[in-house]
Structure 1
Amino acid sequence: MQEHSKLLADESIGKLLLKLSAPATIGMMVQALYNLVDTIFVGQALGENSIQGIAGISIAFPIMMIGMAIALAIGIGGSSVISRALGEKNIEKAENTMGNILSLIGVSSILITIIGSILIVPMLKLFGATDTILPYSLDYLSIILYGSVFFIYALAMNNVVRAEGNAKVAMYTMIASAGLNIILDPLFIFALDMGIKGAAIATVIAQAVGAFYLVHYFATGKSILRFHTRHLKLNIGIVKEIVAIGLSPLTRNASSSLMVIVLNNALAVYGGDIAIAIFGVINRLFMFAFMPMFGVIQGLQPIVGYNYGAKNFDRVKQSVRLSIAITTAMSIAGFLLLFLFPEQLFSVFSSDQELIYSGKYATRIMVIAVPLVGFQIVGASFYQAIGKARPSFILSMSRQLLFLIPLVIILPHFFQLTGIWMAFPLSDSLSFLITLIMINKEFRLLNNDILPE
């Protein structure tokens, strides 16, 4: 514990951020690559039905995001509490928090599996599955639901590992599960001729391996945190703190699912199955472009959380400024890749010329404001790390709930399908302005060494 604490307190910010974020970034990139490869294999395997297959995964994914949202809420909320507790040298609270995280993982996994299995068809239809897409979505999601416990445990506990400053273990977990998934996909999809079901089975097996790797890490005493059965009993104070901080990522990810309900239903009206498939591909490409930024903020959060708890505000400001510079550079690189080469990227997923041509047109509209995204991501994560739930909640909900969903509803009345694509850069620009105003206000307080209320 002393070694990790010394690093978070004394190591130069540049070296520390690199040390903590590089493993997370590598892990996130491998995860994003797996998501791309998964969709590519399905598109190639289904041939003339590639549009329905890609659209089927695209419909199922936001439902999976609900489970991921809950896992990230538990993990990010809990890791924020743990980081600040370690900064305050309160090891008992940190270990108590970890025990509460495990209990929340167990309860949420059971509820998601049961409720999801009962309501699977109505949920898929709600998320925009047409009669031609529904069979593919159903084949995929019905298998994924039974692996919920592995997804939730791995996502949540990876954040705990990062909170104690052991980013390499989190990286190994993500690389192991994503790498195995990439290997198993062709085996189940092509060799065993299981199609889209094979993609789901490969995903569940790979996530289970990642989860068991983390179980081994904690069980063998490699963590600075120790597991005690008494900490499984939920502590109302700790749970409230986890929920308060976790509400921000929960809202962001849940609002993504709500956004997809509105978006897919609008796409079905104005563009049909092919428009839903186009968004599915673009969403995967966006994830690949944005994942390195999330790796940076996963390295940033324990630095900010620890030093904020230790009232070392200069290190907090340095780390946030450096992260903004790095993520903005990444945003610009992602913009250039997606704007200059959309045709080549779409052709990897399918040989359907209409999908490729229409996807090229949509991508070049949607990416216009991507250079602003890195700043938004750092802003929301900064508030999560310092335990300020309300501003983090506002920033998390601003892009999708306040701006994107209303624009997706309004703009198609004037610009048809193009209006849906236009909603993305407009919402990114508006969210950027709100983030800029709030971060400037917070930094004025930190510049005066005032502990924000």
Structure 2
Amino acid sequence: MLMRVAGSDAVEVYTAGERLIMFAIIPLIGIEMAVVSVAGAAYGGRHYDKLRVIHHFSILLGLVIALCTSIITWLFSSQIASIFTYSVETAYLAPSIAAFLVVMCFFYPFLPPGMMSSSIFQGVGKGMTSFAITVLRELVFVIIFAWIFGFVLGFGELGIWWGITAGDILGCVVAYVWARTYFQRLRANT
């Protein structure tokens, strides 16, 4: 999609920006991995009420980290982009990468509910549910929103960025609601 609306530079901006996003979410990935183990132990010990506590606490901790990371990314996007575009050949990409980071930082606070919900499902042995959430988010919501914003509404490269953000946000909200529904069903069956 990016090649079609903006050319190869747009792909370079996206690739560099995604690498930076991966750095930003490393702490959330660490929490996510811990949630899998802790949720598995609680589920295996039949302490189903603790799953909701694990979910809630991990989301709160992740939210604090994500908000801080989002604010730092928003405030220092130009400086962060310039670190990764220091050569003469890539310096012209710095403003675009900074703009990409500004758009993407809006979905950081939505990541913890989605990530921790997927981890809960992995921990309780419902890996296919976690996989379905990821497919729904990345292959359905992100692609549909990127296409709508980029092509249908005609916003081009910026529209694709906002489409990715909107798709990720919706996917994380769906994951959170799915997990809360699972907790209610689990509680009703015990």
**TM-score bracket relative to the smaller structure:** 0.7 to 0.9
- Pairing partner for 2:176 from 436, 441, 449: 436
- Normalization by structure 1: what TM-score? 0.39
Q: CA contact under 8 A between 2:141 and 2:170: conserved in structure 1? A: yes
The match for 1:368 is 106
The reply to whether residue 326 of structure 1 matches residue 61 of structure 2 is: yes
The match for 1:293 is 28
Aligned-residue CA RMSD (Å): 1.8
Q: CA contact under 8 A between 1:411 and 1:423: conserved in structure 2? A: yes
1:357 is paired with a residue whose SS is helix
**How far 1:366 moved relative to its partner?**
2.3
Distance 1:293 1:339 in 2: 18
**How far 1:385 moved relative to its partner?**
0.8
- Pairing partner for 2:83 from 325, 329, 348: 348
**1:104-253 correspondence to structure 2 within 5 Å:** none
CA deviations over 1:300-340 (Å, ceiling 9, x no partner): 21221122112111332222221111111121122112111
CA deviations over 1:189-216 (Å, ceiling 9, x no partner): xxxxxxxxxxxxxxxxxxxxxxxxxxxx
Structure 1 spans left out of the alignment, 5+ residues: 1-265
**How far 1:353 moved relative to its partner?**
4.1
- Pairing partner for 2:119 from 381, 384, 395: 381
Residue identity in the other structure for 1:363: L
- Pairing partner for 2:161 from 421, 426, 429: 421
- Normalization by structure 2: what TM-score? 0.88
Q: CA contact under 8 A between 2:119 and 2:130: conserved in structure 1? A: yes
Distance 2:96 2:5 in 1: 13
Distance 1:443 1:368 in 2: 28
Distance 1:421 1:297 in 2: 25
**How far 1:276 moved relative to its partner?**
1.6
Q: Residues 400 and 410 (structure 1 numbering): CA distance in 2 closer, same or farther, change over 3 Å?
A: same
Structure 2 spans left out of the alignment, 5+ residues: none
The reply to whether residue 313 of structure 1 matches residue 53 of structure 2 is: no
**How far 1:431 moved relative to its partner?**
1.2
The reply to whether residue 277 of structure 1 matches residue 12 of structure 2 is: yes
Distance 2:72 2:158 in 1: 21
1:411 is paired with a residue whose SS is helix
CA deviations over 1:264-291 (Å, ceiling 9, x no partner): xx22232223212211221111111111
Distance 1:361 1:345 in 2: 11
CA deviations over 1:30-78 (Å, ceiling 9, x no partner): xxxxxxxxxxxxxxxxxxxxxxxxxxxxxxxxxxxxxxxxxxxxxxxxx
Give the paired residue count. Answer: 185
Residue identity in the other structure for 2:183: F
Q: CA contact under 8 A between 2:113 and 2:173: conserved in structure 1? A: no
**How far 1:362 moved relative to its partner?**
2.0
Q: Residues 305 and 422 (structure 1 numbering): CA distance in 2 closer, same or farther, change over 3 Å?
A: same
Percent identity at matched positions?
Answer: 24
Distance 1:336 1:359 in 2: 16
Q: CA contact under 8 A between 2:39 and 2:124: conserved in structure 1? A: yes
Distance 1:427 1:334 in 2: 20
**How far 1:296 moved relative to its partner?**
0.9
Q: CA contact under 8 A between 1:289 and 1:334: conserved in structure 2? A: yes
The match for 2:144 is 406
- Pairing partner for 2:96 from 358, 364, 374: 358
CA deviations over 1:153-206 (Å, ceiling 9, x no partner): xxxxxxxxxxxxxxxxxxxxxxxxxxxxxxxxxxxxxxxxxxxxxxxxxxxxxx
CA deviations over 1:408-434 (Å, ceiling 9, x no partner): 233222111111111122112211331
CA deviations over 1:344-370 (Å, ceiling 9, x no partner): 011111234421111222221222222
2:106 is paired with a residue whose SS is coil
Distance 2:50 2:142 in 1: 34
Q: CA contact under 8 A between 2:2 and 2:10: conserved in structure 1? A: yes
Residue identity in the other structure for 2:30: G
Residue identity in the other structure for 1:395: I
**How far 1:390 moved relative to its partner?**
4.1
Q: CA contact under 8 A between 2:114 and 2:173: conserved in structure 1? A: no
